[in-house]
Structure 1
Amino acid sequence: MESAIPPHLQCPRSLERRGGNDYAPPAPGWTTRAQRPGQTLVMALLGVQASGDGAERAACSGLRQIIASLQANDGPVHHDLTHYVDECGYVNMIAIAYWPDRAAYERWANQPEIDAWWRAPERLTDGLGWFREIMLPTEERYETLFSSPDRLEGGGVAQGHVSGEIVEHGYWGSMRDRLPLSQTDAMPPSGALTIVEGKPGSGQRVRVQGHANLAMIRSGQDWTDTAGDERGLYCNDIEPVLRAGMAFLRDGGTTVGCYANRYMRHVDATGKPVEKTFGLSYWHSLADLERWAESHPTHVEIFGTFMRVVQALNVQLQLRLYHEVAVLATDQQRYEYVNCHARTGILNGVAGSW
Structure 2
Amino acid sequence: MAGNLEWEIATMREQMTQIATPRKFPMRKPDNHQPVIQRYSSQVSEDVSSIRVATLGFQGKAGPRDNLTAFLDFIDNAFAKIGKPNHHDIANFVDTQGYSTAMAVCYWLDEDDYSAWLEKFDLWWGAHDPEALENGLWFESFSVPPPYRETNLFQEYLRGVSACPMTRIEPMSESGYWGAARDRFSASAHDDFSPEQNVELQYDPHRDTLRKHIKVSDIPSQLCVIRSGVTWANCGEEQLESYETNLKPKLDKGMTYLRENPVDTGCCSLRQVTCLEADGSAQEEAYSLGIFLTYRHLERWAHDHPTHLAIYTRALAERKKYQENLELLTYHEICVLNEDVRFEYINCHPDTGLLPYFTNNAADQ
In structure 2, what is the equivalent of residue 131 of structure 1? 138
Supply the AA of the counterpart residue of 2:228.
S
In structure 2, what is the equivalent of residue 77 of structure 1? 86
2:103 to 90, 94, 111: 94
Q: Secondary structure at the match of 2:129?
A: helix
Q: 1:25 to 1:200 in 2, by over 3 A?
A: farther
Q: CA deviation at 1:181?
A: 1.2
In structure 1, what is the equivalent of residue 293 of structure 2? 284
Unpaired runs of at least 5, structure 1: none
Q: 1:241 to 1:224 in 2, by over 3 A?
A: same
In structure 2, what is the equivalent of residue 141 of structure 1? 148
1:14 to 24, 43, 62: 24
In structure 1, what is the equivalent of residue 129 of structure 2? 122
CA contact (8 A) 1:259 1:283 kept: yes
Q: Secondary structure at the match of 1:247?
A: helix
| 2:224 equivalent to 1:215 | yes
In structure 1, what is the equivalent of residue 342 of structure 2? 334
Q: 1:175 to 1:10 in 2, by over 3 A?
A: farther
In structure 2, what is the equivalent of residue 319 of structure 1? 328
Cα distance in 2 for partners of 1:10, 1:84 equals 46
2:66 to 57, 61, 86: 57
Q: Secondary structure at the match of 1:281?
A: strand
Supply the AA of the counterpart residue of 1:152.
L
Cα distance in 1 for partners of 2:46, 2:213 equals 36
CA contact (8 A) 1:142 1:324 kept: yes
In structure 1, what is the equivalent of residue 265 of structure 2? 256
* Range with bigger deviation, 157-166 or 233-242: 157-166
Q: Any idea what the Cα deviations from partners look like across 1:65-101, whole Å, max 9, x if unmatched? A: 1233234565212111100111111111000111111
CA contact (8 A) 1:15 1:184 kept: yes
In structure 1, what is the equivalent of residue 171 of structure 2? 165
In structure 1, what is the equivalent of residue 212 of structure 2? 204
Cα distance in 2 for partners of 1:28, 1:314 equals 9
CA contact (8 A) 2:302 2:308 kept: yes
Cα distance in 2 for partners of 1:8, 1:99 equals 29
User: What percent of counterpart residues are identical?
Assistant: 28
Cα distance in 2 for partners of 1:59, 1:135 equals 25
CA contact (8 A) 1:50 1:59 kept: no
Q: Any idea what the Cα deviations from partners look like across 1:218-253, whole Å, max 9, x if unmatched? A: 000011111120011112221122112112211223
Supply the AA of the counterpart residue of 1:91.
S
In structure 2, what is the equivalent of residue 307 of structure 1? 316
| 2:312 equivalent to 1:295 | no
Q: CA RMSD in A?
A: 2.7
Q: 1:305 to 1:22 in 2, by over 3 A?
A: closer
2:280 to 240, 260, 271: 271
Q: 1:308 to 1:21 in 2, by over 3 A?
A: closer
Q: Secondary structure at the match of 2:354?
A: helix
Cα distance in 2 for partners of 1:23, 1:292 equals 24
CA contact (8 A) 1:40 1:139 kept: yes
| 2:351 equivalent to 1:343 | yes
Cα distance in 2 for partners of 1:74, 1:120 equals 17
Q: 1:322 to 1:176 in 2, by over 3 A?
A: same
Q: Any idea what the Cα deviations from partners look like across 1:187-244, whole Å, max 9, x if unmatched? A: 22236589xxxx6521111112321111110000011111120011112221122112
1:35 to 41, 45, 51: 45
Q: 1:43 to 1:10 in 2, by over 3 A?
A: farther
Q: Secondary structure at the match of 1:2?
A: helix
CA contact (8 A) 1:189 1:211 kept: no
CA contact (8 A) 1:40 1:138 kept: yes
Supply the AA of the counterpart residue of 2:57.
G
CA contact (8 A) 1:44 1:134 kept: yes
Q: Secondary structure at the match of 2:45?
A: coil
Alignment of 1:185-196 (within 5 A): 185-190=191-196
CA contact (8 A) 2:36 2:323 kept: no
CA contact (8 A) 1:63 1:95 kept: no
Supply the AA of the counterpart residue of 1:179.
F
CA contact (8 A) 1:215 1:282 kept: yes
Q: Secondary structure at the match of 1:275?
A: strand
Cα distance in 2 for partners of 1:103, 1:257 equals 33
| 2:189 equivalent to 1:183 | yes
Q: CA deviation at 1:172?
A: 1.2
Q: CA deviation at 1:121?
A: 4.5
Cα distance in 2 for partners of 1:204, 1:93 equals 20
Unpaired runs of at least 5, structure 2: 1-8
CA contact (8 A) 1:254 1:349 kept: no
Q: 1:323 to 1:129 in 2, by over 3 A?
A: same
